[in-house]
Amino acid sequence: MPLTLIHTERFADHETPPGHPERPERAEVLDAVAARWRARGVEVVAPREATHEQLARVHSEDYLSAIRATRGLARQLDPDTFTSADSHEVALLAAGAVIDAVERVLSTPQHAAFALVRPPGHHAERSRAMGFCLFNNIAVGAAHARALGCGKIAIVDYDVHHGNGTQHMFEADPHVLYVSTHQSPYYPGTGDADETGRGAGDGFTVNVPIEAGAVDDDFEVVFSRIVEPILRQFEPDLVMISAGFDAHAHDPLGGMRLTSEGFAAVTMALRDIAERSGRGRVIAVTEGGYDLHALGACLDATIAALNGPLRAPDWPRSGVASDRGERAAALAAAALQPFWHLPRTSHPASAPSAE
């Protein structure tokens, strides 16, 4: 499958205070990954800035004015979220990278794109910055895809944190299926299994909260029993991935134990869904991931899964006895059975975890 990476070295110009986990060094990892894959023949293109009209599809006018007012200034927007002199422009490029990805993928079937961006976006609400995020990059892209006539979009978010902003922007929209696997209980405190959407969108929000300590095997259970069956029934025209890598075992913010090979398997499973239902249209967008070495390894593994021939997901075996995936799948299935046909599971949702 042809793959395009969308990236610019400008992403290093968004500065955060010393010691902040979402630091400019993350952009250096993105730079190195983009250069490495360019040398292997993968197309790498620079993004353009998102327009006001594109941002206003998901963010309020007052919020856009407030973020625009930070131009040239260092400001603290919430306990975790900061701007620097160039942050507004960099955030426009981050959202614009996803716009570019959408336009490229929708115009060319059997095409994938990966927007290697910072700051991340999935915590940004319609009228609020939070969780290191200024604009909700993937939501901006999904809204643009809908404006271009894309019928059904699936957003799959495997960041260790629940993507509260993305969920809230689309929870009443049956054309956008939001699926999140995330550590729970954890920041930002949203994403319970019984959050299934509202109004016409009821059933089109899928949350799979998973206990800390989960391993690759747990995620295989969750994807095979909940995520993949629902995606196959939804039949998306476009699959978008909030690709956060802070569920990696070495990440300083998360408490999960995934490997880079596990992220590759997740990505290949999602690519298979796209091949079967959406003519191979896949877009990934970076979110979290704060151990620099793990971030680079996960990016390489994910890009490899998106580039080249489609293969069956190769789920790694952790050797750890854990029933966290079984528990998470049972909890999610109980909330989602009214909306989707799911494999039966007899595993009790209240059983204690192994280890």
Region 171-180 average pLDDT: 98
Is the per-residue pLDDT at 272 higher than 60?
A: yes
Tens of pLDDT, residues 104-138 = 999 988 899 999 999 999 999 999 999 999 999 99
Mean pLDDT, residues 197-204 taken together:
98
Percent above pLDDT 70 for the chain: 97
In this structure, is residue 263 part of a structural domain? yes
pLDDT at 316: 96
Q: Which domain holds residue 313?
A: 3-336
* Domain assignment present for 354: no
Q: Is 101 helix (H, G, I), strand (E, B) or coil?
A: helix
DSSP state, 119? S
Q: How confident is the model over 67-72, as a mean pLDDT? A: 98
Helix, strand, coil in percent for the chain, rounding step 5: 40, 15, 45
14 falls within a domain: yes
Pairing mode, strands 205-210 and 238-243 = unpaired
Mean pLDDT of 233-260: 98
What element of type H or E holds 206? strand 205-210
CATH of the domain at 161: 3.40.800.20
Within 10 angstroms of residue 210's Cβ, the number of other Cβ atoms is 25
- What is the band of 279 on the pLDDT scale with cuts at 50, 70, 90? confident
Report the range of poorest mean pLDDT among 43-47, 247-251, 275-279. 275-279
Q: What is the pLDDT of residue 110?
A: 83
Q: Is residue 55 part of a domain?
A: yes
How many other CB atoms sit within 10 Å of the CB of residue 90? 24
pTM of the complete model beyond 0.85: yes
DSSP letters of 248-277? BTT-SS---BB-HHHHHHHHHHHHHHHHHH
Q: What is the secondary structure of 210-241 as a DSSP string? A: E-TT-BHHHHHHHIIIIIHHHHHHH--SEEEE
pLDDT over 90 at 278, yes or no: no
pLDDT of res. 67: 98
Task: Indicate whether 189 belongs to any domain.
Answer: yes
Q: Is the pLDDT of residue 257 over 50?
A: yes
Residue 200 within any structural domain of the chain: yes
Q: Which residues are catalytic?
A: 123
315, HSE (Cβ side, Cα atoms, 13 Å):
15
H-helix segments, the chain: 25-39, 52-56, 61-68, 87-107, 137-147, 164-170, 216-222, 228-234, 260-277, 292-306, 324-336
Q: What is the count of structural domains for the chain?
A: 1
Residue 177 counted as domain residue: yes
**Per-residue buried b or exposed e for 276-313, using 16+ beta carbons within 10 Å of the residue's own CB:** ebbebbbbbbbbbbbbeebbbbbbbbbbbbbbeeeeeb
* Residue 185 · residue 158 · CB < 8 Å: no
